[in-house]
Amino acid sequence: MLPELDKKISLRQKLMKPFLINVDPNIITIVALLTAFAAGYFIWKNFLILAAGFVLLNGFFDILDGEIAKKFKRETKLGDFLDHSFDRIADVAILFGLTLNQAVPAFLGFSAIISVLLVSYLGTEAQALTKHRLYLGWLGRADRLVIIAVACLVQLWFAQALYWAIILILVLSAISFLQRFFAITKVLTKK
């Protein structure tokens, strides 16, 4: 494992340690999904401070469920399935709220939803074909959530922050799609 990755994992584990309780991680996964619905609603209705908070809560709970599963040895295929499935629903809920916000042209919002889903699809497709999930790319889920949360806050002072955030997400998702596509192609042509 790369030393930088070890440091990131170690920091994440240290930050999450106070929140690790012995509870079914699938419950935390459901809570994460509910926070995404709230975030999408608040973005749509332009309650941007609440939106930013719930977007970050979604990311927090998304990390927490996995950390709980690891610490208490409750990792299951069902849990992994629920986590990835609910993450996609959460992505759509948050981005759909962004799409419905008056600051974002709908065609850009829907294009971003499609791009994000295609990037995620390639991650799962890689796992199906190679037995390894692929997280490669310039824009991952955590990055997206940070961009959206920051844009919600900046929108309070800069009326085009959400507009530029959706463009950034769309462009970086398209690049990430291409990165994953060519990485998978490269692995499969070597077999």
pLDDT in tens, 101-129: 999 999 999 999 999 999 999 998 988 89
Whether 90 contacts 151, CB under 8 Å = no
Angle (CA) 155-161-164 rounded to 5° is 165
Model confidence at 164: pLDDT above 90: yes
Phi, psi values for residue 137, rounded to 5°: 140, 160
User: How many residues are listed for the chain in this entry?
Assistant: 191
- Domains of the chain with CATH codes: 3-15+22-190 (1.20.120.1760)
d(CA 101, CA 185): 37
Residue 76 identity (one-letter amino acid): T
Percent over 90 (pLDDT), the chain: 72
Residue 54, both tokens: 């719930």
Whether 69 contacts 75, CB under 8 Å = yes
**Average pLDDT of the chain, as a whole number:** 91
Please tell me which residue, 119 or 17, carries the higher pLDDT value.
Answer: 119
Whether 42 contacts 48, CB under 8 Å = yes
Nearest to 140 by CA among 91, 98, 106, 80: 91
Whether 110 contacts 99, CB under 8 Å = yes
Mean pLDDT of 88-111: 97
Identify the residue whose tokens are 């769309």: 170
pLDDT in tens, 29-72: 999 999 999 999 999 999 999 999 999 999 999 989 988 888 88
Model confidence at 92: pLDDT above 90: yes
d(CA 48, CA 99): 14
d(CA 29, CA 49): 23
Amino acid 130: pLDDT? 87
d(CA 3, CA 1): 6
Amino acid 127: pLDDT? 87
Please tell me which residue, 163 or 129, carries the higher pLDDT value.
Answer: 163
